[in-house]
Amino acid sequence: MIKTESLTKQYGSLTAVDAVSFTVSPGEVLGFLGPNGAGKTTTMRMLAGFINATSGRASICGHDVDSDSLAARACLGYLPEGAPAYGEMTVRDFLDFIAALRQLHGSARSRIDAVIERLQLQSVLNQTIETLSKGFRRRVGLAQAIMHDPPVLILDEPTDGLDPNQKHEVRTLINDMAGDKTVIISTHILEEVDAVCTRAIIIAHGRIVADDTPQGLAARAPSGRLDDVFRTITA
């Protein structure tokens, strides 16, 4: 469960995120849409505890991301924009490092192997991350995010830079995992919203301009097409 109340981030005189309030419940997959610079990444970073809000509040599984940050982060799986990782580490060492910080001991460590298999990383386990293709790097980032089976997942552009087959795999993965998890994904790709999301929020200039099911949003345009709706409300 993710909850934000009037979440606001200002950089000097620029308001990157302007009083954003929403609640995402378990079982929902929320698509976060909007043009570049609309405030998607800033909002996600505040939820993940990477940047502090100027005002307003946010909580993850009932833990305030500011005052109870460690508990909030413990129940969150987060894929930052661009899937950053330690380039000089091998995939195996990197995942072991994350598992150690996620306190996966004993039998829980078998989850690492399950995640490796699920994201098909077996062939690159002993390669350093900097030598991997963009698609593999993204999958390493996803592996890191889902390893501890978190109740809440926040994925910033999980399919960016993947080829159509890989995109399909990642969407299937998100669909499979969704279940009773709370998921937010940001994307530019509108077909993705149809494929994986149960709900979509369109954000522009830091404000929520639409919050509906993908079908409900599409119905707003005479053509019934999501990209026409997107262009009309974010222009």
Partner 1 sequence: MRNVGIIMRRELASYFATPLAYIFLLIFLVLANLFTFYLGEFFERGQADLNPFFTYHPWLFLFLIPAVSMRLWADERRTGSIELLMTLPVTLWQAVVGKFLAAWLFTVLALVLTFPLWITVNYLGSPDNGAILAAYIGSMLLAAGFLSIGSLASALTRNPVVAFIVGIAACFVFLVAGFPLVLDAFRGWAPQFVVDGIGALGFLTHYEAISKGVIDIRDLIYFALLITWFLLATAVVLDVRKSE
Question: What whole-number distance in Å separates Cα of residue 48 and Cα of residue 26?
Answer: 17
Report the nearest approach of partner 1 to the CB of residue 74 (Å).
Answer: 4
Report the nearest approach of partner 1 to the CB of residue 14 (Å).
Answer: 14
Contact between 116 and 143 under an 8 Å Cβ cutoff? The reply is yes
Q: Where are the alpha helices (DSSP H) in 164-220?
A: 164-178, 190-196, 214-218
* Closer residue to partner 1 (CB): 65 or 204: 65
Contact between 111 and 150 under an 8 Å Cβ cutoff? The reply is no
Report the nearest approach of partner 1 to the CB of residue 235 (Å).
Answer: 29
Report the nearest approach of partner 1 to the CB of residue 55 (Å).
Answer: 17
* Closer residue to partner 1 (CB): 79 or 218: 79
Q: Note the residues at the interface with partner 1 (CB under 8 A).
A: 45, 48-51, 70, 73-74, 76, 78, 80-82, 84-89, 93, 97-98, 100-103, 128, 144
* Closer residue to partner 1 (CB): 76 or 174: 76
- Give how far Cα 63 sits from Cα of 42, 71, 145, 176, Å: 19, 6, 19, 26
* Closer residue to partner 1 (CB): 75 or 195: 75
Question: What whole-number distance in Å separates Cα of residue 45 and Cα of residue 139?
Answer: 20
* Closer residue to partner 1 (CB): 24 or 85: 85
**Beta strands per DSSP E along the chain:** 2-11, 14-24, 29-33, 55-60, 63-64, 76-79, 152-156, 182-186, 199-204, 207-212
Contact between 202 and 43 under an 8 Å Cβ cutoff? The reply is no
* Closer residue to partner 1 (CB): 160 or 212: 160
Report the nearest approach of partner 1 to the CB of residue 94 (Å).
Answer: 9
Positive or negative, the CA dihedral 30, 35, 39, 45 is positive
Report the nearest approach of partner 1 to the CB of residue 101 (Å).
Answer: 5
